[in-house]
Amino acid sequence: MHSKSTLKFALLIMGVLLMASCSKDNATDTTILQDIDNLTASEQSAAIDLMSEDIGMIIEDAYTVDELNESNDISRTPDSLSYLPDCVTMTTVVMNGHVEKTIDFGDGCTLPNGHVLSGIIFMSYLHDTNTQTKEILASLQNFFIDGVSIEGSKSVFRERSNANDNPQSTFTVDILVTWPNGAFASRNGQKVREWIEGYGSGNWGDNIFLITGNRNTIFPSGASASGDITNPLRRELACNFLVSGTVDLQRNDWTGTLDFGDGACDNLATITLVDGTVHQINL
């Protein structure tokens, strides 16, 4: 009897330890899956940042053509003002003091940064481009960047000259992004885009922007990820990617800092978690 009781007790202890081990492993697996999910969401948020930047850049370029044409600078012509490629068809109609502009990328048009765009951007604003500020409305129709569908609209508060004597645009964004594999996310928020170099040159590579602001990204599960730019994002059009700047991210109870680098032109960024763990991501 004594030996049987001892055996039963030993088996009971082994069962408890095994259950505890399985519970710990399950908890660890859940944590790993959550981390992977959060990092994937961070990569998607960073990708949306870049696509949103391309759209903002195009809207500003199209408006700048009209803005500088009104400056009476005889050294400038419409063809020399824009850095968009010849495959873009830009149509402008002025009626009743309003400008309606259509930017058509057709079935596929490659920008100097290598991104392939298709579809149409519509823009609308008052004709008087000599004013210091301007409200611009922009919407997208059947619009894609590198096969990624982007739907929605942007409103822009345009300042001809900010406190630093630079052109500046404040974008209010409301878009839905859908990847070819069916993954999707919606984005809303506000960003301020200061044009610090290359304004009106007509050359793609010398244009540089600093970007501040905040945004919220909502994923299919209903989870949302907020992002606040803590150090201005630097966009140099000579590079395909954001080259520096940081964004504080929060998704449910998960937080991290997205860092686009120290100025080098590459497709790498890092996510730093609150415990100091650093993950590298590809843009």
Best mean pLDDT range from 44-48, 116-120, 279-283: 116-120
User: What does the alpha-carbon distance between residue 220 and residue 11 come to, in Å, rounded to a whole number?
Assistant: 46
Give φ, ψ of 277 to 5 degrees: -65, 135
pLDDT in tens, 101-113: 999 999 999 988 8
Q: What is the pLDDT of residue 219?
A: 81
DSSP state of 69: H
pLDDT beyond 90 at 234: yes
How far lies 205's CA from each of 75, 137, 165, 170, 183, in Å?
20, 27, 21, 23, 32
- The pairing of beta strand 89-95 with beta strand 224-236: unpaired
| CA-based nearest residue to 61, from 242, 229, 209, 189 | 209
Say which residue the tokens 């982007």 belong to.
150
79: burial class by Cβ within 10 Å (0-12, 13-18, 19+)?
exposed
Structure tokens given for 118: 């298709």
Q: What is the pLDDT of residue 81?
A: 56
pLDDT in tens, 173-190: 999 999 999 888 899 999
Structure tokens given for 172: 């209010």
pLDDT tier for residue 150 given thresholds of 50, 70 and 90? very high
pLDDT in tens, 31-68: 333 444 555 666 777 788 888 888 988 998 888 877 77
pLDDT tier for residue 71 given thresholds of 50, 70 and 90? low
- The pairing of beta strand 168-178 with beta strand 184-197: antiparallel
User: What does the alpha-carbon distance between residue 108 and residue 174 come to, in Å, rounded to a whole number?
Assistant: 24
The dihedral of CA 145, 107, 85, 168: what is its sign?
Answer: negative
